[in-house]
Structure 1
Amino acid sequence: MKQLDECRDFGNAADLFREQVDRHADMVLRLALSHTGNLADAQDVCQEVLIKLCRYRQGFSSMEHEKAWLIRVTINQCQDLSRSVWSRWFAPVENVPLIDQDTEEMDVLSHVLMLPRKYRLVIHLYYYEGYKTSEIADLLDLNEATVRTQLKRAKGKLRIMIQGGFEDED
């Protein structure tokens, strides 16, 4: 709560912060959910990222710069969470209800969440956030060819999961 009070003390900056939260909170939560695999951890990450946004005083050169900064901070926060002692001590929360969406979308989302983390991230950034492979490579500090390979493998795994069957079938 103290962090929120810090944001309120800045007058016009608080209005700017509210606009930024309205603009990006859903994207941050979806990205964190893609990375962590459960809603409770994703909400924790989202809160931490928004607190960092509130404290960030340097400003952004453009909306795209702001979005890229939030994505990078979200990914870093998710990685910090996965390395924390807390996450090693406790098993992830199972069967946490997700955001209300139609059944088909939830089915695809549940399959995406079952992918390994590296595949979940590139799928999310490519399909949900609309980034190109070159932009994803910059955000994740990867080679562009690596991103394309991960996307191809992730789509292949999703196809198998959704259609059923085994990976070695043609």
Structure 2
Amino acid sequence: MEQFTPSPGEPERVVEQYGNMLYRLCLVALGSRADAEDAVQDTLLRYLQKAPAFVSAEHEKAWLIRVAANRCRDLRRFWLRHPHTGLEEVAGHCAEPGDRAVLEALMTLPEKFRVVVLLHYVEGYSTGQIAAMIGRTPSAVKMRLQKGRKLLEQAYGREDG
């Protein structure tokens, strides 16, 4: 039986032919548009990296579905091990309208600054405790706090302005 080998221009064809189907599958499995988009992107990236040879177009489709389903399963498993709270859920508990604006500005910060600002100002940890948690020196934590405050001020200032 002759093998079905994708040609070099195949990424566009694969996205056009299977992209919507993979997105719907991932959206139903994950319940989040952003996570579904990530799962589809990971699936297509794996397709490009592996460049598998298929027996038929149906085999190609089945392979893509299997990879997408596995990626969705991996994401759900990660969520079970590492629960997180979304911005919408946290914002629902904000008493004042201004609290939500500060929270939204905080969420725009890069993760390394956001984490130390949250741990210090919201959770009340000292710079030494934060340093031990994230594996950095206390002086590095202080620098991240300083930079995080500056970025937060800029982000919050833009919303008010």
User: TM bucket by the smaller chain?
Assistant: 0.3 to 0.5
Higher relative contact order (CA 8 A, sep 6+): 1
Specify the structure having the higher radius of gyration (Cα): 2
TM-score (norm. length: structure 2): 0.46
